[in-house]
């Protein structure tokens, strides 16, 4: 029996949106993956994520992929807590499922910061590196793993978690920007609403 082929798609998912789902499917099809794991971070080393807790972001990711057998959420980083390092996650996944062929899915915009990642040089040893590219489908030369990563062109969808949060804060609709379950979760818990300054004049 051939080994399972799984993708690891990490991020804050604050919140998860339709573009996350679309590109995960595009990469899954292109790389013949049996499954793509969404791995919400606990604490992102380079981002100060606000508006939703790690548990809430993981719950939203689970709502986003519900009913899709190709996509699954793994709370490995949320359970581990603290700063989330990809190298630790891949090492733990490989230990947990040694027979699985792992593929680390990265956006092309992640590449410039890779030299700052913990033990970045180990990543190609732990998983096949898959870079999602837009436009011409070429990764910029001279970056880590150049020549060793698999490049998968994905649609240039102009949807971001930042925009979704901004729309919620402004009282605008996010219908179709995020799956219906995620939208309901956000509204039910009052996530991303603009904080009201109750004392604008100071002390």
Average pLDDT over residues 178-197: 87
The per-residue pLDDT for 199 is 32
The per-residue pLDDT for 202 is 33
The per-residue pLDDT for 195 is 46
Label residue 151 exposed, middle or buried (CB < 10 Å: 0-12, 13-18, 19+).
Answer: middle
The per-residue pLDDT for 180 is 98
- Measured CA to CA, the distance from residue 122 to residue 109 in angstroms comes to 20
pLDDT tens figures, 138-186: 555 555 676 678 999 999 899 999 999 999 999 999 999 999 999 999 9
The per-residue pLDDT for 142 is 52
Query: Quick one: what percent of the chain has pLDDT higher than 90?
Result: 78
pTM of the full predicted structure?
A: 0.90
- Measured CA to CA, the distance from residue 185 to residue 123 in angstroms comes to 34
5-11/128-133 β-pairing = unpaired
Alpha-carbon distances, residue 106 vs 114, 151, 153, 185, 195 (angstroms): 10, 10, 12, 27, 33
Query: Quick one: what percent of the chain has pLDDT higher than 70?
Result: 90
For 62, residues 6+ apart whose C-beta sits below 8 A from its C-beta are: 73
Q: Is the pLDDT of residue 4 over 70?
A: yes
């Amino acid at each position: 029996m051939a080994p399972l082929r799984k993708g690891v798609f990490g991020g804050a998912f604050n919140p998860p949106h339709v573009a996350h789902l679309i590109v995960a499917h595009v990469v899954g099809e292109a790389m013949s993956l049996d499954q793509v794991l969404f791995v919400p971070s606990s604490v992102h080393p380079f981002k100060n994520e606000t508006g939703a807790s790690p548990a809430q972001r993981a719950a939203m990711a689970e709502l986003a992929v519900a009913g899709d057998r190709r996509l699954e959420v793994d709370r490995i980083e949320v359970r581990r807590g603290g700063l989330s390092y990809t190298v630790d996650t891949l090492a733990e996944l490989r230990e947990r499922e040694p027979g699985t062929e792992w593929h680390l899915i990265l956006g092309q915009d992640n590449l410039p910061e890779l030299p700052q990642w913990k033990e970045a040089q180990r990543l190609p040893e732990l998983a096949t590196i898959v870079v999602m590219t837009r436009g011409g489908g070429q990764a910029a030369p001279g970056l880590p793993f150049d020549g060793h990563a698999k490049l998968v062109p994905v649609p240039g969808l102009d949807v971001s978690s930042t925009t979704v949060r901004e729309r919620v804060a402004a009282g605008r609709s996010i219908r179709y920007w995020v799956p219906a379950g995620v939208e309901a979760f956000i509204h039910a818990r009052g996530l991303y609403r603009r904080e009201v300054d109750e004392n604008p004049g100071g002390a």
